[in-house]
Amino acid sequence: MSDARGAAHNEPIFVTRRQAEAARFCFLGEFGYEIISWIPYLLYLKRTLGLKLRTLSRPGSSVFYAFSDDHREAPASLIGGVWGEPASYDRLRRRFRSTRLIHPGPDMINKRRISVEGVEWTTRDIHRPLAETNYVRPDLSAVEAWSPIPGRPLVVLNNKYFVQWPGTFNAPVNYFDRASLVALRDLLVQRGYGVAYNHFVEKTAADEHQRLDDEGIFGLDAATYDLRSRYAETTCPADRNRLQISVYNAADFVIGPQGGNLYLPAVCRKPIFLLMRAGDYVDYRELGRLYGVAVEAFYEPRHLLNWLGSTLPWRSKAPRTIRRRTQGASDELHVVTDASIYASVIDVREQGERDLGSPGRAEPIRR
């Protein structure tokens, strides 16, 4: 991106109410930035000024823009990183030649000033404490809760597997591998919880998802469920997003790796326990403050497992017999114990390292 193009996308936008209603507010960047910064500003404009808003965002975003009077969805090929790519907004502008497009600038700490009737967009840096000026928190409680595992308190276990920050890392860094997934599943089921596994893949122009060995771990018994089986039943991105929200609304808490996958559970006001080998802890601390939920961060799965083992209440009185799939063998019924749970992570990932650490939570990584 040249300096000239960057400057053009940072030009301030000051519009009247009438001009705002004739324009279209667009967002083509990362979901976390959108849900924590852009949508709260538009909600504020809607509720305080009563604007007739026209909006545009990612595939499946209609559920997040229920307040919009005219919402459109852009193709996945236009969805980029952070606040969105200037080239994508340029392409969009060619499709809406007669309409003014209002969208963020390209910089991490956004330099573009946007003001409607004197009401300014203020949340231009999401990696710091949020002042909540001209800001309304999204509320997704209207989406009916649904649990795929009735009869047990529900835990949603999120996962992802793609390269973040390519300039810093050349391989995925924040994710749960197979051994960790098995150990988390066994611990949670043993304690009486149902586990819904959510490896949700959003197609964008920025993220290159890689294959993760996580098939055949969940959905083998009545206590676990793999949400990919439901995602496969529909081609509609909005239906998949509603499904995610409905399951989050039914959950007791959500576990997941650092990233945008944990913003939505916080908006649904669920405690989040996150694996964060790299990332900005302030983002999740602010999520917890905004939505009044507990947030716990851990360096490695073994720290999370140790903390869960010492913290989670027992929802069942005895170890449960569950079905576990082992590599190179057929599924076998066996009784899971705390020792076997921890050993499954130690043996596969940390040969010779037997210390699981203290029972308390690990300090989060800060960058």
Residues near 99 by beta carbon (within 8 Å), at least 6 away in sequence: 22, 23, 24, 54
Q: Residue 285 and residue 302: Cα distance in Å, rounded?
A: 22
Residue 232 pLDDT > 60: yes
Q: 169 falls in which pLDDT band (50, 70, 90)? A: confident
Residue 8 has a pLDDT of: 74
Over residues 244-265, the mean pLDDT reads 94
Q: Taking all residues of the chain, what is their mean pLDDT, rounded to a whole number? A: 84
| Cα distance between residue 343 and residue 88, in whole Å | 48
**Nearest by Cα to 109 from 125, 94, 123:** 125
pLDDT by residue (tens digit) across 159-168? 998 777 777 8
Distance (Å, whole) CA 82 – CA 274: 21
Alpha helices, DSSP H only, in 144-191? 178-190
Extents of the domains making up the chain:
3-120, 154-349
pLDDT recorded at residue 316? 63
| 54-88 CB burial, b ≥16 within 10 A, e <16 | bbbbbbbbbbbbebbeebbbbeeebbbbbbbbbbb
Per-residue pLDDT tens over the stretch 193-226: 999 999 987 666 565 667 889 999 999 999 999 9
Predicted local distance difference test score (pLDDT) of residue 359: 34
Q: Where are the beta strands (DSSP E) in the chain?
A: 13-15, 24-26, 54-57, 70-73, 101-102, 114-116, 119-120, 154-158, 194-198, 224-226, 253-257, 272-275, 295-298, 321-324, 332-335
Which of helix, strand or coil describes residue 256? Answer: strand
CB atoms within 10 A of CB 212: 17
- Digit-coded pLDDT (tens) for 95-116: 999 999 999 999 989 999 999 9
Confidence of residue 305 (pLDDT cuts 50, 70, 90): very high
Q: How far is CA 282 from CA 40, 264, 366, in A?
A: 18, 16, 8
The whole-number pLDDT of residue 209 equals 65
Smallest CA-to-CA distance from 177 within 217, 206, 204 is with 217
How many percent of the chain have pLDDT more than 70?
81
pLDDT digits (tens, 9 = 90+) for 17-56: 999 999 999 999 999 999 999 999 999 999 999 999 999 9
pLDDT for 206 equals 60
What span, in angstroms and rounded, lies between the C-alpha atoms of 284 and 287? Answer: 5
Torsion of CA 56, 60, 296, 208, to 10 degrees: -90
pLDDT of residue 201: 76
Structure tokens at 112: 């573009």
State mean pLDDT over 268-278. 95
Pairing of strands 253-257, 224-226: unpaired
Task: Please give the pLDDT value at position 163.
Answer: 77
CA torsion, ordered 343, 346, 351, 352, to nearest 10 deg = -80
Average pLDDT of span 168-180: 89
Please determine, for residue 259, whether its predicted confidence score (pLDDT) is greater than 90: no
Q: Could you give the CA distance from residue 146 to residue 54 in angstroms, rounded to a whole number? A: 31
Q: Which fold has domain 154-349?
A: Rossmann fold (3.40.50)
